[in-house]
Amino acid sequence: MTDVPTPAAPGAGCALLQTRRLSVDFGGLHALDQLSFEVRESEIVSVIGPNGAGKTTLFNAITATVEASAGDIVFEGQSLLGLDPNRVTQRGIARTFQNVRLFANMSVLENVMVSQHCRTKQHAFGALLYTRAFRREEAEIRRRAEEILGFFGTRLIGYRMDQPAFTLSYANRRRLEIARAMATQPKLILLDEPVAGMNPVESAELTGLIGRLRDEWGFAIVVIEHDMGVVREVSDRVVVLDHGVKIAEGDYADVASDPQVIEAYLGQGTGGK
Amino acid sequence: MTGSASVAGSAVPTRPEALSAPPRPAFSHDWRRIARIGAIAALGQMFIALSNMPVRLDERLVVKPVLSLGYLVLLFLPVAVGYRHGHQTVREGVPVSRPGLHEVVGGFSCGLLAGGGLSVLAVLLAHFDLREPLVNWSPILLDLLAFGNNTWFAAVIWLVIGAGLGAAGGAVRLLGPVSRRAVVTMALAVAGAAVLESLVVDLAEGMGLEALADRLYARRGGVNWNSALGLAGVCGVLAVIGRGRLRHARLRHAELQGTKRTRANAALIALTAAALIVLPLFAGKLTNELLANVGLFVLLALGLNVVVGLAGILDLGYVAFFAVGSYCAAVLTAATSPRITPEMPWLVALVVVVVITGLVGLFIGAPVIRMRGDYLAIVTLGFGEIIRLLFLSDWLSGWFGGAQGITKIPAAGIFGLTEVSGTDPRRVFYLVLVFCALAVYVSWRLERSRLGRAWMAVREDETVAEAMGINTVNVKLMAFVVGAVLGSFSGAIFAAKVGSVFPASFLILVSIVILVVVIFGGMGNIVGVIAGAAVLIGVLGGPKQPGLLVEFSEFKLLIYGALLIWMMLARPAGLIPSVRRTRELHQHEMAQDAWLQGQVDDEDEGKEARSSTAAARR
Ligand SMILES: Nc1ncnc2c1ncn2[C@@H]1O[C@H](COP(=O)(O)OP(=O)(O)OP(=O)(O)O)[C@@H](O)[C@H]1O
Ligand SMILES: [Mg+2]
């Protein structure tokens, strides 16, 4: 199990994010067990695995939502361990949530505006004195928010911008989550099942968007996905987890034909395709 | 059928077709409902009678010579239940029964039961002596209930009164909207005129309208019965003429956009400001005192609103900052302060007060803010008490005078122009007004800033806010500090106004009252909070300050409690709710409604855009 790969010997600087023998325990349960993997700049990595494999836990550990019990997480050469979640976001890692968690009563636009918090700096005094710097920054926040929402075509702009987020359709909520992540101006985006619950058309559309996120915005992306079609479409590399352990890694074709992977999925009797 | 029709759309049941006229349900009475409402009202009546309100308030005439305030409190409930009985929860797709004779019959029955409560009480009063646990169990009460006659008269007359009032309450439902409005306005006008007598007289004198006041009110208090009729008539007519005007104006205002809207708002604000500046000139000492007290609480409530309403931190110890502000101002300005006597001018002291209170806010906030929800509320409650006990303690009595407090605090000098002290409440009010305006400005600006959005996000979902890069601890601390500073303004003015500070002025009750004001008025809404303070503090009075209903001051907390319960049942988002807060409370229902009305976002662009925007702007 512990074949300590640390693949593609890090040509220093190439690896944007590295987890080194990362473990997360919940009581007796090893949700992640000595997981080592890396994401390079402008790379799209898919993380797949049966339900309960520890995929979301991996995201939670990276974003400091849960505490790692052993190992290290290194982002741009610096360890993220011990940071508060907001500091991790400030370093440049943004995420979406598997169970969509928008600020439901804030408008679509406000959701995106508030997510630029860590990239802006006007504080109370600027607001109270209504300084030029404050007004300029507000305008800039707004402009940027509209630009980001515009990335999703006509889905989120126009009258919808001013509607509370809870009135959005399911697919649009997922889009807004991504918009919010983009607004934090990250280097790396973690997408947790971005197309879950979407119909094939929407899902195909979003798959295209994920590619554009990398090409046009330059983000590195880690995406958790159950839909193998999407995985094949978007990923440069696929990492397969099972019971918190990495059982395979490589490009889609290699992974899909890996007997261990097939075993993991078929053994479950549910899940994969 | 396009490919983008949403998945969810096909899974949900079809929308109900437009409802045709509902079939009129057969005439029937829900006797269990009547019995329940009646029984509750009967218990309520007994409770009110035994709370001693009727006896205490019997002296106070409302309409001379027929009605005293004491009897009025006993008449209110039967009418209310008679009316309430006919209330139906309106559900989508379920036919609503038309009003008819059954409203009267139902109201009659409910009122009969409510009156019956007093009948039973009268009989019990006559035959048992329960004075031991129930201190107000007295022959005087019996005498009052019997209108001076014997017990059996009391038993019968209250059944009759109850039934009659209940039937009248039910009959109101039979009236068309116009006449109903007229009737309600008439009743409210007379009750208002009677209850607000002191204010009306005071204002009338200020404006040189004594003659009118004399005509309206009898010498020993109470509205003359013929003036009452006249007033009711005038108000009834006005109500009919003015019907719908207000709503119309509000709708028109809501439809305004862009600069027009800004201009309308500016005009409204200017008008309000002008009224607030001019009004005290015509008001007597009493009214100005009242206005000053309301202002102090508005200031406190606005401060707490930043903490509770904007950032969503339930602070039950807000009085701490009021206390710190008062004590700091006292120590810095009074010559008699026990330890140090810098005797600063008030305005200079205010700067120091702000700094110190801000630091205290940080100091208290830092440990507290890391907690969430209920824990946080409990801990703030504790800190509120700790601050008061510190001021009371022997340990610090060398600084703050222990239970004796600090007295002889000088008036607040404003740039040598005027001296503001409690002897001239008008000046106090103007000073408070300035700071209230400041507090309104601060809340309004901050709410629409980067910080305000962060507060909103924290209130919605702290974990996600944190994950979106918001330093939730800092942001919440900031709310705490802003709240503390606004509270300290109120404290500093309070010290100069009253001229002395004691630990007993800063009981936990003050925190509770401020919180009640905020909740009652409408959390997160500036106008709502101000309205809440005006109604609660102005009419009922603050923890120590008398309100307009001086007579009720003994029963203030009882009424506070009753009002709060009613509010939570009827309008959980407050008197003038914040749109956003209402959404938070009713999110699911609103989503449902939007769907029923076909306004939910279902992916077909443009078509429904207009109707949806209209709905969103509600
Ligand atoms: N906060 C927690 N406390 C205790 N156990 C947890 C917690 N979070 C996750 N787990 C457990 O850790 C294991 C991994 O969960 P995780 O959510 O990471 O799975 P996943 O791979 O994301 O699955 P899915 O595909 O269903 O989303 C599961 O057995 C889960 O029950
Ligand atoms: Mg998961």
Confirm if B369 and B466 have CB atoms less than 8 A apart: no
Q: What is the pLDDT of residue A208?
A: 92
Which of A87, A93, A105, A156 would best serve as a mutation to test chain B binding (most B beta carbons within 10 A)?
A105
Q: Give, using CA atoms, the residue closest to atom 26 of ligand 1.
A: A51
Statement: residue B205 has pLDDT above 90: no
Enumerate the β-bridge partners of residue A238: A46, A250
Q: How far apart are CA A125 and CA B504, in angstroms?
A: 35
Q: How far apart are CA A216 and CA A152, in angstroms?
A: 13
Confirm if B236 and B182 have CB atoms less than 8 A apart: yes
Q: How far is B247 from chain A (nearest CA, A)?
A: 25
Q: Average pLDDT of B18-26?
A: 50
**Greater pLDDT, B180 or B592:** B180
Q: Average pLDDT of B344-364?
A: 92
**Greater pLDDT, B247 or B301:** B301
Token look-up 């790692």 returns A68
Cα A85 to middle of ligand 1, angstroms? 19
Q: Identify which of A38, A23, A28 has the alpha carbon closest to the alpha carbon of residue A72.
A: A23
Neighbours of B561 (CB within 10 A): 11
Which ligand is nearest the CA of A240, by number?
1
Q: How far apart are CA B341 and CA B325, in angstroms?
A: 16
Statement: residue A76 has pLDDT above 60: yes
Residue B607's pLDDT band, with cuts at 50, 70 and 90, is: very low
Q: What is the pLDDT of residue B91?
A: 63
pLDDT tens across A141-197, in order?
Answer: 999 999 999 999 888 888 888 888 988 888 899 999 999 999 999 999 999 999 988
DSSP reduced 3-state for B82: helix
Q: What is the pLDDT of residue B589?
A: 65
Which of A159, A161, A189 would best serve as a mutation to test chain B binding (most B beta carbons within 10 A)?
A159
Q: How far apart are CA A236 and CA A233, in angstroms?
A: 9
Q: What is the pLDDT of residue B468?
A: 94
Neighbours of B57 (CB within 10 A): 22
Q: Give, using CA atoms, the residue closest to atom 16 of ligand 1.
A: A54
Q: What is the pLDDT of residue A204?
A: 92
Q: How far apart are CA A109 and CA A146, in angstroms?
A: 7
Residue B254's pLDDT band, with cuts at 50, 70 and 90, is: confident
H/E run at residue A47:
strand A44-48
CATH of the domain at A111: 3.40.50.300
Q: What is the pLDDT of residue B219?
A: 67
**Greater pLDDT, B315 or B609:** B315
| Highest mean pLDDT, choosing among A246-255, B135-144, B200-209 | A246-255
Contacts with B610 from chain A: Cβ below 8 Å: 159
Measure CB to CB from residue A159 to each of B4, B442, B613 and give the nearest one.
B613
**Greater pLDDT, A1 or B322:** B322
Q: How far apart are CA A31 and CA B330, in angstroms?
A: 59
H/E run at residue A128:
helix A124-129
Q: Identify which of B284, B307, B227 has the alpha carbon closest to the alpha carbon of residue B519.
A: B307
Enumerate the β-bridge partners of residue A39: A17
Query: Rounded to 10 degrees, what is the CA torsion of B458, B462, B465, B471?
Result: 80
Position A67 in a domain: yes
Enumerate the β-bridge partners of residue A191: A223
Contact B469 A184 (CB under 8 A): yes
Report the complex ipTM.
Answer: 0.90
Q: Which residue type is seen at A10?
A: P
Q: What is the pLDDT of residue B574?
A: 82
H/E run at residue A221:
strand A220-224
Q: Average pLDDT of B125-135?
A: 84
Statement: residue B397 has pLDDT above 80: yes
Q: In chain B, positions 547-606, which contact chain A (CB-CB < 8 Å)?
A: 580, 583-584, 587, 590-591, 594, 600-603, 605
Measure CB to CB from residue A104 to each of B463, B587, B603 and give the nearest one.
B587
Token pair of A56, please?
């979301």
Q: What is the pLDDT of residue B606?
A: 39
Q: What is the pLDDT of residue B126?
A: 87
Least confident of B85-94, B158-167, B450-459, B500-509: B85-94
Neighbours of B247 (CB within 10 A): 9
Residue B546's pLDDT band, with cuts at 50, 70 and 90, is: confident
Q: How far is A86 from chain B (nearest CA, A)?
A: 4
Q: How far apart are CA A246 and CA A231, in angstroms?
A: 17
Confirm if B514 and B297 have CB atoms less than 8 A apart: yes
Confirm if B471 and A84 have CB atoms less than 8 A apart: yes
Q: How far apart are CA B474 and CA B459, in angstroms?
A: 14
* Chain B residue with Cα closest to A85: B467
Q: Average pLDDT of B301-326?
A: 93
* Chain B residue with Cα closest to A118: B469
Cα A93 to middle of ligand 2, angstroms? 18
Label the pairing between strands B61-64 and B223-224. Answer: parallel
* Chain A residue with Cα closest to B600: A167
Specify burial of residue B76 (Cβ count, 10 A radius: 0-12, 13-18, 19+): middle
DSSP reduced 3-state for A29: strand
* Chain A residue with Cα closest to B581: A105
Among A56, A224, A245, name the best residue to mutate to test ligand 1's pocket (greatest count of ligand atoms within 8 A of Cβ).
A56
Q: Which residues, including other chains, have CB under 8 Å from residue B93's CB and lie 6 or more apart?
A: B16, B19
Contacts with B587 from chain A: Cβ below 8 Å: 104-105, 166
Q: What is the pLDDT of residue B591?
A: 63
Average pLDDT, chain B: 82
**Greater pLDDT, A123 or B599:** A123
Measure CB to CB from residue A85 to each of B467, B609, B613 and give the nearest one.
B467
Label the pairing between strands B67-68 and A188-192. Answer: unpaired
Measure CB to CB from residue B457 to each of A114, A141, A162 and give the nearest one.
A114
Q: Average pLDDT of A51-79?
A: 93
Dihedral sign from CA coordinates of A265, A266, A272, A273:
positive
Statement: residue B344 has pLDDT above 50: yes
Confirm if B311 and B475 have CB atoms less than 8 A apart: yes
How many distinct structural domains can be found in chain A?
Answer: 1
Q: Where are the alpha helices (DSSP H) in B3-138?
A: 7-11, 31-50, 53-57, 69-85, 101-127
Cα B458 to middle of ligand 1, angstroms? 25
Q: Average pLDDT of B387-414?
A: 85
Cα B150 to middle of ligand 1, angstroms? 76
- Ligand 1 binding pocket (C-beta < 6 A) is A 26, 29, 31, 49, 51-57, 98
Report CA Rg, chain B: 28
Statement: residue B434 has pLDDT above 90: yes
Q: How far apart are CA A141 and CA A123, in angstroms?
A: 14
Position A32 in a domain: no
Residue B139's pLDDT band, with cuts at 50, 70 and 90, is: confident
Q: Which domain holds residue A206?
A: 39-266
Token pair of B407, please?
């007295």
Q: Give, using CA atoms, the residue closest to atom 1 of ligand 1.
A: A26
The half-sphere exposure of A232 on its side-chain side, counting CA atoms within 13 A, is: 8
Residue B95's pLDDT band, with cuts at 50, 70 and 90, is: low
Q: How far is B585 from chain A (nearest CA, A)?
A: 10
Q: How far apart are CA B490 and CA B326, in angstroms?
A: 8
DSSP reduced 3-state for A118: helix
Among A23, A24, A25, A29, name the best residue to mutate to test ligand 1's pocket (greatest count of ligand atoms within 8 A of Cβ).
A29
Cα B213 to middle of ligand 1, angstroms? 75
- Tell me, yes or no, if A98 comes closer than 8 A to chain B by beta carbon: no
Q: How far apart are CA B334 and CA B343, in angstroms?
A: 6
Residue A193 CA, closest ligand 1 atom number: 27
Position A210 in a domain: yes
Cα B86 to middle of ligand 1, angstroms? 52
Q: Which residue type is seen at B615?
A: A
Measure CB to CB from residue B454 to each of A114, A159, A164 and give the nearest one.
A114
Q: In chain B, positions 474-503, which contact chain A (CB-CB < 8 Å)?
A: 478, 482
Statement: residue B231 has pLDDT above 90: no
Termini Cα distance of chain B: 31
Residue B486's pLDDT band, with cuts at 50, 70 and 90, is: very high
Statement: residue B180 has pLDDT above 60: yes
Contact A127 B451 (CB under 8 A): yes
- Tell me, yes or no, if B287 comes closer than 8 A to chain A by beta carbon: no
DSSP reduced 3-state for B202: helix
* Chain A residue with Cα closest to B3: A201
Q: What is the DSSP string of A85-113?
A: HHHHHHHTEEE--TT----TTSBHHHHHH
Contact B600 A169 (CB under 8 A): yes
Q: Give, using CA atoms, the residue closest to atom 18 of ligand 1.
A: A54
